[in-house]
Amino acid sequence: MLCPHCTADNDRVLDSRACEDGRAIRRRRYCNQCKKRFTTYERVEQYAMQVVKKDDVREPFQREKIERGVERACWKRPIRSERIRELAAQVEADIQSDYESEIPSTVIGHMVMQGLAELDQVAYVRFASVYREFKDVEDFVAELAPLRTPSDASESVDPD
């Protein structure tokens, strides 16, 4: 490994730890030439997953896009950023295990909506409104109907 400070190829590993949920190894290294420390990461090389958009355009999969979309949906909600990263990581892991090279964007959106439904119902509806392109209030009502429990429906009934 070349030292980023002096480009010498004479270093030793001080510490190795698993990171990114066991999908990478972080190594602290010490350059024997310039005596400085630096960090390297070792990851399994994966093929670039392609996302097939609605208009058949293909683009590389980016977990950061999922995180940004979920962050927007969770704006001003009591949800830790750690949970958002976990949701994005879970969606990415599901994609890597179930698909080889291409995945439709609609499948990714569905996976995110499932995760948000378990995480926070308000965030779920916010994400669904953009993802499903709601046009009017009826679209919101239709999306909320499955989320309502039978006890919610009985509370709204007028006893008269």
Per the structure, the count of domains in the chain is 2
Same domain, 62 and 125: yes
pTM for the whole structure: 0.62
Q: Domain span at residue 92? A: 50-149
Whether 120 and 135 share a structural domain: yes
Residues 61 and 129 in one domain: yes
Q: Per-residue confidence of the chain (160 residues) as pLDDT tens digits?
A: 899 999 999 999 999 999 888 888 999 999 999 999 999 999 876 668 899 999 999 999 999 999 999 999 999 999 999 999 999 999 999 998 899 889 999 999 999 999 999 999 899 888 988 877 777 878 777 877 877 765 554 444 444 4
Together in a domain, 70 and 141: yes
Whole-number Å distance between alpha carbons of 154 and 160:
13
